[in-house]
Amino acid sequence: DQQVKQNSPSLSVQEGRISILNCDYTNSMFDYFLWYKKYPAEGPTFLISISSIKDKNEDGRFTVFLNKSAKHLSLHIVPSQPGDSAVYFCAASARQTGANNLFFGTGTRLTVIP
Amino acid sequence: DGGITQSPKYLFRKEGQNVTLSCEQNLNHDAMYWYRQDPGQGLRLIYYSQIVNDFQKGDIAEGYSVSREKKESFPLTVTSAQKNPTAFYLCASSIGLAGGSYEQYFGPGTRLTVT
């Protein structure tokens, strides 16, 4: 049972435009969300996170938005650059349960076209 | 230079053989994790350890075993009981609950091929 879902397996965007990657979750106990970026044959690298007490977190070109009522979060990359081409994973954690395990989505492959 | 190392990068084994994947971290993190990634799928948790000499099963622990004798090391053994062992294996670590941090930091991965 996939508790974190990324329904778009791939996304193509022109360089300089906005990339929007989406993620949905089903477990209402999730209260901390993370985005990771992964290149082929490498480990994922942490990008940005957001706590459920916030609805937006920004770090440079990356912004994560959280809509708790819809159980939905999104990652915005503006402007998109060719080096952003990678697989992006959404992950969630239920800190309030005392656990720090992460539940990952299946990933979205972003291709930024020069 | 702090980080997580996994060795080897590529590993080939014959069916029926046990194989141990190495994971070492020098980040002084309490918690360590093992995931596997298959094509088109997300990362699935195999085992995790919050502290030395303690570990817990994840979602897909069958056919795997781990040990945590030292804080910096968390080796994973893929046994012959694992039905589909060919995959990309990722080790991760985090500060742990006491540190209040939930970001996990990943190693470069080991691609295991069993024929």
User: DSSP letter string over B6-61?
Assistant: EE-SEEEE-TT--EEEEEEE-S--SEEEEEEE-TT--EEEEEEEEETTEEEE-TT-
* Residue matched to tokens 């540190």: B99
pLDDT tens digits along B26-50: 999 999 999 999 987 889 999 999 8
For residue A86, the surrounding DSSP H or E stretch is strand A86-93
Which of A70, A15, A49 lies closest to B94, judged by CA? A49
**B1, amino acid identity:** D
Phi, psi of A82 (to 5 degrees): -55, -35
Residue A94 has pLDDT above 60, yes or no: yes
Question: How confident is the model over A79-84, as a mean pLDDT?
Answer: 97
Chain A positions in Cβ-Cβ contact with residue B88 (cut-off 8 Å): 41
Confidence of residue A82 (pLDDT cuts 50, 70, 90): very high
Please write the tens of the pLDDT for every residue from B3-12.
999 989 999 9
Q: Does A81 score more than 70 pLDDT?
A: yes
Half-sphere exposure of B14 (CA within 13 A, CB side): 1
Nearest CA in chain A to B6: A43
Indicate the residue of A9, A46, A104 with minimum beta-carbon distance to B103: A46
Count Cβ atoms below 10 Å from residue B42 Cβ, excluding itself. 20
Residue A9 DSSP one-character state? S
Chain A touched by B107 (CB under 8 Å): yes
pLDDT in tens, B58-114: 989 999 999 999 999 999 999 988 889 999 999 999 987 655 567 899 999 999 999
Band of residue B2 on the pLDDT scale cut at 50, 70, 90: low
DSSP state of A6: -
Please enumerate in sequence order all residues whose Cβ is within 8 A of that of A106, keeping only pairs 6 or more positions apart, or say none.
A2, A5, A6, A9, B40, B41, B42
